[in-house]
Structure 1
Amino acid sequence: MNQQLQAMVTILSLINPVVCAMIFTGLIQGRPRSAAIRDATVSMVVVALVLAIAAFFGARVLTAFGISLDAFSVAGGAVLVYIGVSMMTGGQSSGDDKPRDENANSLGKLILFAASPGTITGVITIATAHSRDGVPVTALVAVGSICVLTWVLLVVTAFTGSGEQKPSLRREMSSRYMGLIIVAMGIQFALTGFKAFMAA
């Protein structure tokens, strides 16, 4: 039970539902509520699938390509820095005039954040350390629980934030502040992975 709680706290901190909701807020401005809820559902289903696959096969895939978890963390940090910079420069803003493919691209940024290489690294680590009869039950339960929690938060965001044609000053400032936090998280992931890689 203690291992499961630790795993859930770890995945919670990596997926970070609050930051996901902030990213999602910028994606649903000007979109119908039904479309926003659908986007929330699709994004969390994809995140859950990616992390479940990582729990089952992640370690073997990295080993097959000769990639260490530390190097993977450095790459994950770079991805998070890119997402954070995009938020800080207003790349998350959206409206009715945004093309469908651009909406999909923005939704991809949410998925990349929630299922970032940093999150995948955490899932692989948990799955490697706590598996029962070859099945990463601890990692799967943690991923499933946090994805459901994040989906609920995104749906609440869809009810409170969809339909707005233009982002408010509060939302713009919040988005940029969260972008800065994501950049810092990315740098932390990269530096931690680089330090561990060099120590090894």
Structure 2
Amino acid sequence: MAIDDLLDEHEQSERVRKWLRENALGLIGGVGLGLAAVYGYFWWGDRQDAERLKASDQYQVVVQELKANKLKEAQGKVGELKDTAFAALVALDIAKAQLDAGKRDDAIATLRAAKTTDSMVAPIVQQRLARLLIDAGKHEEALGLLKAADDATSHEVRGDALFALGRKDQARDAYNKALGLLDVAAPQRRLLELKLTQAGGTPPKPATAS
């Protein structure tokens, strides 16, 4: 190796050492921040897991109390699940228990208070609330609740509200839309066809294989 090369390497090494001395605190701080971020990430994940497990346990307690017909006790625990993923589920369970106990208006109030952004649960809450509103004679409110929905069950419930209002043409349209979104083997299809017939419509004939 040439002397010039050795000098270049020595000079480079000195420059590296100088840079490290000048930036040591920054490097240590950066590593510390990185480690703190990693620790914080796992700590937050563990905390969320613990909160989910706690909420799950609380929800199971409510379910067991409802099975034991302890509606009052179950309602007392709703607040503990207010800001959890189980809030809407427990609202559905309590509303059902209230309805079974003949407390339809209480069930309506429970579902009205249920808040969720879960794309799977929110439509169920709206559909059940709409059915109760129809039963209570609040057909227009039920229609307003489902105006943006475009699934088979929502169209069916919308048809029920329209039929109750005497708007049979619109009810038939809603039932036909619901049928168009259902599989031919869907268990609820037969009842929906009966509703369409009652509204003066004719159920579509199933397609035959050519």
- Structure 1 length normalisation: TM-score? 0.22
Higher relative contact order (Cα pairs below 8 Å, separated by 6+ residues)? 1
State the structure with more CA Rg: 2
Structure with the higher fraction of residues in helix conformation: 1
- Structure 2 length normalisation: TM-score? 0.21
